[in-house]
Amino acid sequence: MTKQIEKPGAPFVGGRVRRTSQRRVTMTDVAREAGCSQATVSFVLNQSPGIKLSAQTRDRVYDAARRLGYAAPVARLQVASPSERRQIGFLVDQMSASPEAAVAIDGAGVAARANGDLLMVSQTFNDPATEAELVRAFVGQGVSALVYMSIFTREIELSAELLDLDIPVFLLNCYTTGQSHPAVVPSEIAGGQRSTRYVIDQGHRRIATITGEIWMEAAQDRLKGYRRALATADIPFDPALVVEGDWSASAGYAATRQLLDLPNRPTAIFCQNDRMAIGCYEALKEAGLDIPRDMSVIGYDDEEISRHMHPALTTSILPHRAMGQWIIEQIEEMADHPGGRYPITKLECPLVERASVAAPKG
């Protein structure tokens, strides 16, 4: 089977990265093409004052942007006056717990900038009093909509301050009972199923999985997807092949050691995030096993480190940037249709094929 290997800025369609379809080029794509950080790209393309960058770096960024066809969303900002620019508040419960918050904020910020809007961001620290004060502050600033994000995908109960607002409230990575507010979350069951199915398609039938903390919806749903893929392929579920982790590299290492001690070892391991895959790699290499010749490994999240592991890790993209963009795109449309119920929007977690999965030996 011929693999579609990831290329910088390659679009993804149907759950896998492809080179033949079109999607909007982002600053992240330009950064990869230019070999620099996204912050550097932002400074260059926005012509930020006071930032000392070499002419070579600036030329490299401009050349990469031209090659990829990146259109910096600045024209509308230059036309709109401050009084014409819509203000959008963005509340997140925690920013430092994981990179997903920054990625979602970046996606929302790029979309807001393209619309000529201002995005104002703050975190609540999971403190109700702080949240209430921030809501009042945003309303005082005249925001026309408010986005609420949780780090962990979960059902939430909105505070009285949020429920009493007369402006639209949008939920990112969370949802409410009764679907009273527009919400967008990752399609985790489908993502877990697609990841497992990909390994099955390579010929594996004894596939282990290392889950995250099972009280979290993401871990539960990725496990459901794993089980669905096995069932549709008529592969019996073996509880011994499911080991609970805690999303850390150490958990991936310990769980892999446990799986290697089984009398009948798996031939592939689905690590339900990339950090556990790092520990999995270490345990396999310590045991003298080659990846993917002796053991295939697949991750989840597509963190930056996954591109630089040896071999590069096949994984899935968490769509937080796309979720942030979706929220901004829906604000104007849904503001005209307040009330009622809003089906939860689920964005797919595209699979990125790299080099850590192969057919089983023999």
CATH of the domain at 50: 1.10.260.40
Average pLDDT, the chain: 87
Give the model confidence (pLDDT) of 268-320 as tens digits: 999 999 999 999 999 999 999 999 999 999 999 999 999 999 999 999 999 99
Residue 79 has pLDDT above 50, yes or no: no
Q: What is the pLDDT of residue 96?
A: 77
Q: What is the pLDDT of residue 45?
A: 78
Residue 60 counted as domain residue: yes
Average pLDDT over residues 327-346: 77
Residue 7 counted as domain residue: no
Does residue 234 sit in the same domain as residue 199? yes
Q: What is the pLDDT of residue 39?
A: 67
Q: What is the pLDDT of residue 12?
A: 32
Average pLDDT over residues 174-181: 90
- Nearest Cα neighbor of 181 from 163, 161, 201 is 163
Does residue 147 sit in the same domain as residue 238? no
Confidence band (pLDDT; 50, 70, 90) for 352?
very high
Residue 76 counted as domain residue: no
> Of 34-38, 121-125, 343-347, which range is least confident?
34-38
Q: What is the pLDDT of residue 3?
A: 37
Q: What is the pLDDT of residue 13?
A: 32
Whether pTM exceeds 0.95:
no
- Domain of 129 in residue numbering reads as 85-186+319-347
Does residue 103 sit in the same domain as residue 126? yes
- Nearest Cα neighbor of 350 from 305, 320, 328 is 320
* Phi (first) and psi of residue 5, to 5 degrees: -85, 140
Q: What is the pLDDT of residue 30?
A: 87
| Torsion sign (Cα): 121, 302, 7, 282 | positive
Residue 266 has pLDDT above 80, yes or no: yes
Does residue 175 sit in the same domain as residue 236? no
Residue 204 counted as domain residue: yes
Residue 201 has pLDDT above 80, yes or no: yes
Q: What is the pLDDT of residue 29?
A: 82
Confidence band (pLDDT; 50, 70, 90) for 72?
low
Question: How far apart (Å, rounded) are the C-alpha atoms in residues 357 and 311?
Answer: 9
Does residue 173 sit in the same domain as residue 274? no
Average pLDDT over residues 57-76: 76
Does residue 176 sit in the same domain as residue 248? no
Residue 219 has pLDDT above 80, yes or no: yes
> Of 54-68, 136-150, 267-281, which range is least confident?
54-68
Q: What is the CATH number of the domain that holds 327?
A: 3.40.50.2300
Residue 27 has pLDDT above 50, yes or no: yes
Does residue 262 sit in the same domain as residue 324? no
Does residue 228 sit in the same domain as residue 330? no
Residue 79 counted as domain residue: no
| H/E run at residue 32 | helix 27-34
Does residue 227 sit in the same domain as residue 301? yes
Does residue 32 sit in the same domain as residue 142? no
Question: How far apart (Å, rounded) are the C-alpha atoms in residues 362 and 360?
Answer: 6
Residue 1 has pLDDT above 50, yes or no: no
Residue 229 counted as domain residue: yes
User: Residue 30 is which amino acid?
Assistant: V
Domain count, the chain: 3
Instruction: Please state whether beta strands 296-298 and 315-316 pair in parallel, antiparallel, or not at all (unpaired).
Output: unpaired
Average pLDDT over residues 222-245: 98
